[in-house]
Structure 1
Amino acid sequence: MQRSALPAGRIQQNQVRTGPSRRPQPFTSVRPHATTICNAAASLNGNGNGNGVHSKARCSGARCPTPAQTIRTIVDIVNEGTLCTVNASGLPVGIPVTFSTDKQGQLQLHMEREALEMANIQGSTACSLMVQPTCQPARAVAAVTLMGKLDAPADFSATTLPLNVERCFYFGGLDQSSRGLEVSGSDFQAAEPDALRKAAPELVNTWNSECAEDLYRIVSDFLGVPLTEMSYVELLWVDQLGMYLRSEVAGQEGPQVLRVPFYRPVLDERDARAVITMASQIAWERERAYTPPITAMYADAAAAAAAAASNN
């Protein structure tokens, strides 16, 4: 079936298709209204206008990655930041640096022997590292400040220095309920980066540019708002537990960030595509009160079973 051409994040009322946009993968889905609503959705009818989840993206429990997991994700997909050290006069100085993460999740900062920060850490190895993706869509996810001490050798001859993280300040870009949250160094070390961290930008681009109708149907169904009243939907980010979207409903407050969790965690990019497609399929079926037809074989078997039950 050929997909209609839709601009990114936008759909017109006369462009609404009469069927699902793609053939879904054979997953058993659960009604999103019943089982995939985070704390924001719990207030769906609590504000008098029926769109409680439309106001802000809030996460809890297993419906969103924890701040520690998001921090690990950000650190894993970024390789540069601002290192702040203290100079001989006691003043903090911020310097751009690059870093990498080894197999154990240990941050390794790369510096030059003659760099200003190398001179500073000879007085004190205490430092902070500010990290945020520079490009969209990852830039919108979060920013983090990692605080701790550099593990510098006695002669300060090395140019790759481990950073022992003692605590973190997490600034949730999309998760507005977690701005400025402190996370311990042990929680940071124990967390795993998100499974979709490398694939998320491509998923965001694909759904906004080629599958906008799916997003409109999913958000329409999640909010309980007719599809024709959806003015704007844009996918912002995808993780293994759900999606962040910017949406706007006609006649209501301007675009807001919305968190739509998946009904189960996804494993990889292919699995994410299947689950998002299924969410669109379920939304389409519920919109039309659609019941899949039963084949003649199963219909005959059901009739025979019913007849046998009535005779008994």
Structure 2
Amino acid sequence: MATATFRVHGSLLEGAAAASSKIAIARSIHTSCIVPSGKRQVHLSVSKSANLGKIVDLRSFSGKKDGERRDGVLSVRMGASASASAPAASTSNPKLSGQVRPSPAEAARTIVDISNEGTLSTLTETESWPTATAVRFALDAQGNPVFRFSSSALHTRNLALDNRASLHVQLEQPGRQKPQCTLRGRIVKAEEPDLQEKLEIAWERRFGIERAQDDAYFIMVVEQALQSQDMGEEEVWMSGDDYSSAVADPLREFAVKIVDDMNQKHWEDVRRFTNVYAGLDVEVEEVSMTWVDRLGFDLRVLTKSREMLEIRIPFVREVTDERDARSSLTMMAQIAWERERSYNPPDVAFVGSFSVSSGG
């Protein structure tokens, strides 16, 4: 059963959530959850007549520990059929059932593919304290980070004694979201000529030709990866094999451009997405798109009551490239426009007969 998942960026939820694990949605339900810090009440509201009889699992209301609130944002993750009245959010496409955003492994591959800088931590020569510095990196075909260090570099000296290391990479998305991942593994120096050539090609593909006689190439063999959708949100561990076998999102090179175009040129459509597909029963002050991927897009909404909401809306079907994504957004915008105006298109008059004229 599909549900709409609400997440409060505050502290652990108590009170009503502890009393019952599930509630049925009536026309409007307000669930008060007591936050330990100051006993402040946070009201979660689901209001949509078409949702009558749906079930919300209160165990999916996952809060953050006290002190980890992120701007008081309430996240509203709309599932593929969370609102029965949403024309494109309800779909029978098996590829979208149960998955409305890329997997953590796909997200991690996307983050490192878009980025070329991160924070590398290695163990120091004395006392084995981890020391982190900003580094550039490239990638091989499996997503393993490739580094280039001089013989006198701090990390070169550290790795000669203990080659365990971690690389943290953070992506700055529009709307202040910061998805991030940490790769953990062992870094080895490329000694064989074939491996050196392979890593040099990977490096030059990302940074161009760089000449330095004292530099050597290193590669991290990823053993584990940790991915988080945003700062302060739950982290997910995955194996190195899961990470390496995942594929970066096909929209990664175009997402920022699509988001900018939608916010600057099609802001009315973005607002309609909130009204029609999310079905929020609140007055909206501002809304903007923050990210788009092959399975859907994220919206950030400021309400008249100054609440900040984050909404995930899935595509009707998986998109494969920039053109496909723009086409799907255009289609969803047209449907939203028609639904907002209760517009019924006229019947098409088909041609009853035709004749073929010969030339001459």
Give the TM-score normalised by the residue count of structure 2.
Answer: 0.64
**Given that residues 189 and 216 in structure 2 are in contact (C-alpha distance below 8 angstroms), is that contact kept between their aligned partners in structure 1?**
no
Is structure 2 residue 216 aligned with structure 1 residue 159?
yes
Is structure 2 residue 110 aligned with structure 1 residue 73?
yes
Cα distance change of structure 1 residues 223 and 249 upon mapping to structure 2, 3 Å threshold: farther
Corresponding letter in the other structure for 1:190:
S
- The residue aligned with 1:170 is 227
5 Å-filtered alignment, 1:92-107, equals: 92-107=130-145
5 Å-filtered alignment, 1:211-230, equals: 211-225=266-280, 229-230=283-284
From 228, 232, 235, the equivalent of 1:180 is: 235
Could you say which structure has the greater relative contact order, defined with CA pairs below 8 angstroms and 6 or more residues apart? 1
Cα distance change of structure 1 residues 138 and 246 upon mapping to structure 2, 3 Å threshold: closer
Cα distance change of structure 1 residues 59 and 186 upon mapping to structure 2, 3 Å threshold: farther
5 Å-filtered alignment, 1:52-201, equals: 55-58=74-77, 61-89=98-126, 90-133=128-171, 135-137=172-174, 140-152=177-189, 159-173=216-230, 179-201=234-256
**1 or 2, which has the higher helix percentage?**
1
**Given that residues 38 and 58 in structure 1 are in contact (C-alpha distance below 8 angstroms), is that contact kept between their aligned partners in structure 2?**
no
Q: Per-residue deviation at 1:112?
A: 1.9
Cα distance change of structure 1 residues 111 and 140 upon mapping to structure 2, 3 Å threshold: farther
Q: Per-residue deviation at 1:141?
A: 4.4
Q: Per-residue deviation at 1:59?
A: 7.7
Cα distance change of structure 1 residues 193 and 38 upon mapping to structure 2, 3 Å threshold: farther
Is structure 2 residue 50 aligned with structure 1 residue 50?
no
Q: Per-residue deviation at 1:248?
A: 2.9
Instruction: Report the identity percentage.
Output: 33
- 2-side partners of 1:129 and 1:259: how far apart? 29
- 2-side partners of 1:153 and 1:103: how far apart? 16
**1 or 2, which has the higher strand percentage?**
2
**Given that residues 148 and 165 in structure 1 are in contact (C-alpha distance below 8 angstroms), is that contact kept between their aligned partners in structure 2?**
yes
- 2-side partners of 1:263 and 1:248: how far apart? 25
Is structure 2 residue 324 aligned with structure 1 residue 271?
yes
> Which one is further off, 122-131 or 107-116?
107-116
**Given that residues 129 and 147 in structure 1 are in contact (C-alpha distance below 8 angstroms), is that contact kept between their aligned partners in structure 2?**
yes
- Stretches of structure 1 that go unaligned for 5 or more consecutive residues are 1-34, 302-312
Corresponding letter in the other structure for 1:166:
E
**Given that residues 120 and 168 in structure 2 are in contact (C-alpha distance below 8 angstroms), is that contact kept between their aligned partners in structure 1?**
yes
Q: Per-residue deviation at 1:153?
A: 5.2
RMSD over aligned Cα atoms: 3.3
- The residue aligned with 2:304 is 250
- 2-side partners of 1:191 and 1:296: how far apart? 48
